[in-house]
Structure 1
Amino acid sequence: MTQIFRLAQVADAPALAELLRQAYVSNTELGIHFAAAHADNEAAKKHITNNVCYLLEEEGQLLGTVSLRMPWGPNPGPAGLPHIGWLAVSPTAGKKGIGSLLLDFIEQDIARDKLKCPAVTLGTAVEHPWLPQLYENRGYEKFAETDLGLGHITAYFKKRLIKSFS
């Protein structure tokens, strides 16, 4: 079966919103309320319009999504670098490494190779039982923590994509 990445279009907003709600259920059950967990069609439309948002599909089925918030956009990340967000894998996709595939794609194919970004950032809840460690295992380094008023502390991580960048 062939998997394809493609840029999301406004018409994809309902499917994106549904994917996000399904994928983030376990986070909400942990008491972690990421904004993506509550995305409706309008929020998904706005996200697609204002960010670089990719969908991963296989045989017409939506497997996952990942986005970059750009430093010049309306919701920049914390460090003047592209910021990875709204990473989600469909619960029906199973444990097939889809999350790693999405991160590899956005880090390497898009941010490093196409956009020539020296680094990217992302954020997650300090309280999450496994995400901070997962990102550190992928080469991300924590550089800040903040309270965004979401009921958890957000840790920000940075990953160098071009080794000559400090």
Structure 2
Amino acid sequence: MGKLAFYQATEDNVSEIKELTLKAYASIRDLGIHFAAATADDALVKKNINENICFYMKDEDATVATASIRMPWSPHHGPYEIPHIWWVAVDPQYKRKGYASKILDFVEQDYLAHQLHCPSVSLGTAKEHPWLADMYIKRGYQPVGEADLGKGHQTVYLEKLLLGTEYKKR
């Protein structure tokens, strides 16, 4: 790991975010899980950047990871009245180097907790994915709900406290 830097994406970053996302979500497509990001085109990436808060991470000159936050007032907000992380992707060329943790730490702590003072954050993943929910639970997320969004899988929602010490189930 070299020098890491975090940036908020603009429309100038559409092609690099799309390229990274499509590579990162190849295994999701192989599992038959229908996440919007898994088949992102330029229009969807541009929409994500314009309607949400999209960050990307560079290691030296390489774009290695991205994560977005859907805010409660955005057109495509999360299920609860708190920020909702989605579209987390790490270029598979750089997997197992801790980049997913680094970008999530930045989003959760540096941005949401310290800059915006958000008490908690949610995210959702496919219940059928073999390891994603467990990864988020190990990061301190707690399951808070499930929904069938008509995408061919069950979505499990998780929430993480960012400020405070007591978890309250919804």
TM-score using structure 2 length:
0.94
Structure 2 residue aligned with 1:146: 147
Following the alignment from structure 2 to structure 1, what is the Cα–Cα distance between the partners of residues 95 and 156? 27
Q: Is the 8 A contact 1:14 1:40 kept in 2?
A: no
CA shift digits 1:27-67 (9 cap, x unpaired): 11111121100110111011001111101012221100011
Structure 1 residue aligned with 2:46: 45
Letter in 2 for 1:65: T
TM-score using structure 1 length:
0.96
Structure 1 residue aligned with 2:11: 10
Indicate yes or no: 2:65 matched with 1:64. yes
Alignment of 1:73-152 (within 5 A): 73-152=74-153
Inter-CA distance 164–94: structure 2 relative to 1 (3 Å threshold) = closer
Cα shift at 1:164: 5.4
Q: Is the 8 A contact 1:71 1:82 kept in 2?
A: yes
Question: Which consecutive residues of structure 2, in runs of 5 or more, have no partner in the other structure?
Answer: none
Report the secondary structure of 1:163's partner residue.
coil
Letter in 2 for 1:114: Q
Following the alignment from structure 1 to structure 2, what is the Cα–Cα distance between the partners of residues 92 and 139? 26
Cα shift at 1:16: 0.8
Following the alignment from structure 1 to structure 2, what is the Cα–Cα distance between the partners of residues 139 and 48? 27
Question: Which consecutive residues of structure 1, in runs of 5 or more, have no partner in the other structure?
Answer: none
Q: Is the 8 A contact 1:56 1:63 kept in 2?
A: yes
Cα shift at 1:18: 1.2
Report the secondary structure of 1:12's partner residue.
helix
Following the alignment from structure 1 to structure 2, what is the Cα–Cα distance between the partners of residues 6 and 23? 19
Where does structure 1 differ by over 3 angstroms across 4 or more consecutive aligned residues?
Answer: none
RMSD of aligned C-alpha atoms?
A: 1.1
The aligned length equals 166
CA shift digits 1:104-155 (9 cap, x unpaired): 1110000100010000000000011001111111111111111111110000
Report the secondary structure of 1:53's partner residue.
strand
Report the secondary structure of 2:68's partner residue.
strand
Following the alignment from structure 1 to structure 2, what is the Cα–Cα distance between the partners of residues 2 and 35? 31
